[in-house]
Amino acid sequence: MKIKYINYLLCLIAIIGSFYIIFTRVNTIGILLKDLSIIVTITLPYIIQKICKVKIDDKLIFIYILFIFFAHFLGVTVELYNSINYLDKINHTLSGVLTAYISLLILYLMHKYDNKSKGFNILWMISITMMIAVGWEMFEYIANIFFGGDAQRVVLTGVNDTMQDMIVAFLGSLMVVIVYLFYNKSNLFDFTNSIKKIH
């Protein structure tokens, strides 16, 4: 099976699964929005392709969709975070890895990527990762205020859960930085086949 069809299948499973969960359990407006948001998050690469007129490699899309499938669909919608210890921390670490790598892709897309500017590229990777990590925690905090719940586990952990989520995301970005510094001669950071402008 071609990888693009696997991507379509994972998207379909997540979206249908989310609608099934929505219609089979009692929902508050907050939970309803949380479950519906999978439609945007898991199809985001296709939305970006359409809006930015680019072609993203199917393997890169697969990595993103697989992450969203585990982190958003299984973790949040199916609520496996409540039953599997450390799944949340594993996914936040992976989010750091993913956002650091994607941040370099964004530089390439904006024609600002320079392989010789390693200092700037590293600062960019870490900054984008931490911006997204902090932004996510702010989103959870605001959602708790407006819709109730305790997504940040403040009642159980105080600030520990929030701080640990941001720390492991930072560590995830450092993993990419280390690979970038020591293995940059490989084609891992050759973006020409990962994302292309459509003329």
pLDDT digits (tens, 9 = 90+) for 79-89: 888 888 888 89
pLDDT value at 33 more than 80: no
Enter the DSSP assignment of 70. I
E-only strand ranges, 23-147? 54-56
- Residues near 196 by Cβ (< 8 Å), separated by ≥ 6? 54, 55
Q: Does 149 have pLDDT greater than 70?
A: no
Dump the DSSP string for the chain.
Answer: --HHHHHHHHHHHHHHHHHHHHHHS---HHHHHHHHTHHHHHTHHHHHHHHHTEEE-HHHHHHHHHHHIIIIIIIIIS-GGGTSTTHHHHHHHHHHHHHHHHHHHHHHHTT---TT-HHHHHHHHHHHHHHHHHHHHHHHHHHHHHH---TT-HHHHTTHHHHHHHHHHHHHHHHHHHHHHHSTTSGGG-GGGTEEE--
- pLDDT by residue (tens digit) across 42-61? 999 999 888 888 888 888 89
The one-letter code for the residue type at 87 is L
Answer for the pair 186, 150: CB distance below 8 angstroms, yes or no: no
Helices (H) and strands (E) in the chain, counts: 9, 2
Beta bridge partners of 99: none
Task: Specify the DSSP class assigned to residue 26.
Answer: -
pLDDT for position 199: 43
- Domain assignments of the chain as residue spans, ordered by start: 1-84, 85-194
For the record, the structure tokens of 73 come out as 């669909």
160-178 pLDDT, tens digit per residue, is 888 888 999 999 999 999 9
Distance between CA 109 and CA 156 in Å, rounded?
42
